[in-house]
Amino acid sequence: METTLRGVGVSHGVAIGEVRHMGTAVLEPPAKQIPAEEAEREQGRARQAVEAVAADLMARGNLAGGEAQAVLEAQAMMAQDPELIADVERRITVGSTAERAVYDAFAAYRDLLAGAGEYFAGRVADLDDVRNRIVARLLGVPMPGVPDSDEPYVLVARDLAPADTALLDPTLVLGFVTEEGGPTSHSAILARALGVPAVVALPGAVELAEGTVIAVDGSTGEIFVNPGEEKKAQLEASAAERKAALASATGPGATSDGHKVPLLANIGGPADVVAALDAGAEGVGLFRTEFLFLDDDKNAPSEEKQVETYRQVLEAFPEGRVVVRVLDAGADKPLDFLTPADEPNPALGVRGLRTLLEHPEVLRTQLSALAKAAEGLPVYLEVMAPMVADRTDAKAFADACRAAGLQAKFGAMVEIPSAALRARSVLQEVEFLSLGTNDLAQYTFAADRQVGAVSRLQDPWQPALLDLVAIAAEAARAEGKSCGVCGEAASDPLLACVLTGLGVTSLSMGAASLPYVRATLAKYTLAQCERAAAAARAADSADEARNAARAVLSGE
């Protein structure tokens, strides 16, 4: 019998196929004692397994490239964490086997993170994956992971580790569905980069029986279980219509009546540039420079290395706009040489610009590297600070940019509600705003962006979030300055129209989403977008806002 389930759609497209489940998680190793004379051998086994898993994660990252590479390299560093390894060896010394010591040491560290209020929920999931890989290697059993199949399928899992998501084969994995996760989780972001339809936060996803035929609509978040022929035909026709619209939409982003909305790409480094150019990006709206720093979380990269990396990106967009976010460290992106290890509430502590202002030499080096990288290039360089709270923050950043001799526009990211509410004040110090809707939602609703249980509050269609976007955009208009969106909200084609109607002046997203947004914007006038935005803000929930906007744009 055909039934319909609803999760959170995080990657556009439609997939129809049979369910295949992720490999079973590693079983808990038995707790048996070893003689003291075997401790050294077991410690050697543990170290070899850790190094092998770290090397495997690094190799997967090299194959994947882009954002996936940075995520997997961070996992590899997690596997080699000196404190964890020391705890493993201590447990072996008092009689544990290598596999049991790894299991217990990781469990203890996991409990510490969970006890900190789950602000590291995304890292906890990554930690579990690293543990499972090391224990599997020690036990000599197959790694948990993507199932082997010669036929295309829809992958279903409780959650997907970055190591699995990064190397999904789109020719075999038609789409994926998870029970956990949220719209801004690692897996969601990587799914969009791959262009694989995906739905997350679907209650009871793992209860879908192996081999069941399901249809996944990554745009609406709907899952159709045992769809009938009529439903399949309807979904396939819709997918074909979308594909045709994508093929016909080319050139700069604009509404049907010619209102220009530059469509830019979010990138993590030079490896993402080709996909951005292929998708027709008009520039870069968010260059996440922290991935360069994650190569070595013990030391900042040299100025020379930074210059080389930045210049590769700037050279790819002659006459284009490239917006660089300076290092955003802290919370879910800790760096040993910068981030306090004992913060009770890291997401509300020293992160982003606060970290850089406490370490001015790191900011000074980065700004100097950007200035040198842009020398002689016709690119329009813009540099922005993360986690700006008020005018004082904005002035401190602008002063640092001027002191470094940076010939560029200085901007502020709006990720904290205070910055949106006082946007006109912030704009007295900087020349543009960029809305990071992922963190702005997190701080507006007190809802961790990595926790599936609160994904309802991470929905960028929440009217309160749209209100903050409107306030910031109106402030920028009044000051004659620009206000873009570089959060994941921009990758939703329907929401892109609403954001345009709210007064946002540019949209930046993962490269895979650019054609969808370009094609959808081209179907509607600016006035229609404004009416849809007003209808969405008048709603009382994210679902109501989405439906209201859709009704306006479809002429219902």
**Gap between the Cα atoms of 328 and 25, Å rounded:** 33
Q: How would residue 145 be classed by pLDDT, with cut points 50, 70 and 90?
A: confident
Q: Which residues contact 246 (CB under 8 A, 6 or more apart)?
A: 515, 516, 519
256 CB-side CA count, 13 A: 10
Task: Write the pLDDT tens digit of every residue in 2-36.
Answer: 899 999 888 888 999 999 988 766 668 988 899 99
- Annotated catalytic residue within 12, 401, 483, 486: 486
Residues 367, 286: Cα–Cα separation, whole Å: 16
Per-residue model confidence (pLDDT) at position 450: 62
Residue tagged active-site, from 186, 401, 497, 529: 186
Mean pLDDT of 149-168: 81
- Is there a catalytic annotation at residue 21? no
- Segment 329-338 shows an average pLDDT of 71
Q: What is the DSSP string of 231-266?
A: HHHHHHHHHHHHHHHHHH--SS-B-TT--B--EEEE
Contacts 24+ apart (CB under 8 A), 352-355: 352/328, 352/385, 352/386, 352/387, 352/388, 352/413, 352/415, 353/326, 353/385, 353/386, 353/387, 353/388, 353/393, 353/396, 353/397, 354/330, 354/387, 355/327, 355/329, 355/330
Helix, strand and coil percent figures for the chain, each rounded to 5: 50, 15, 35
Q: What pLDDT does 118 receive? A: 40
The answer to whether residue 332 scores a pLDDT higher than 70 is no
Between the CA atoms of 505, 510, 516 and 517, what dihedral angle is there, to the nearest 10 degrees?
-10
In the structure, what pLDDT confidence band is assigned to residue 509 with cuts at 50, 70 and 90?
very high
CA distance 493 to 286: 18
Q: Which two tokens stand for residue 115?
A: 């006890």
User: How high does pLDDT run on average in the chain?
Assistant: 88
Q: What is the 3-state secondary structure (H, E, C) of 269-312?
A: CHHHHHHHHHCCCCEEEEEECHHHHCCCCCCCCCHHHHHHHHHH
119 falls in which pLDDT band (50, 70, 90)?
very low
**Residue 163's closest CA among 127, 121, 198?**
127
Percent of the chain with pLDDT over 70: 92
CB 400 within 8 A of CB 367: yes
C-beta neighbour count of 345 within 10 angstroms = 10
Mean of pLDDT values over 96-114: 86
Torsion 354-359-363-364 (CA) sign: positive
Burial class for 47, CB neighbours closer than 10 Å (0-12, 13-18, 19+): middle
Burial class (CB in 10 A: 0-12, 13-18, 19+), 394: buried
**Distance of CA 424 to CAs 279, 333, 413, 436, Å?**
34, 30, 13, 17
Q: What DSSP designation does 359 have?
A: S
Structure tokens at 108: 């203890």
Say if CB 322 and CB 287 are below 8 A apart: yes
Burial of 16 (0-12, 13-18, 19+ CB in 10 A): buried
Contact 313, 370 (CB under 8 A): no
Q: Which helix (H) or strand (E) holds 324?
A: strand 321-325
Residue 517 to residue 242: CA distance in whole angstroms: 11
Rounded to whole angstroms, the Cα distance separating 65 from 71 reads 10
More confident residue, 94 or 62: 94
pLDDT above 50: residue 412: yes
Residue 193 — very low, low, confident or very high, per pLDDT cuts 50/70/90?
A: confident
CA separation (Å) from 421 to 304, 393, 454, 472?
A: 39, 15, 24, 7
**pLDDT given for residue 512 in this prediction:** 83
**Cα end-to-end span (Å), the chain:** 31
Q: Three-state DSSP class for 213?
A: strand
* pLDDT value, residue 505: 98
CA-based nearest residue to 512, from 282, 184, 196 = 196
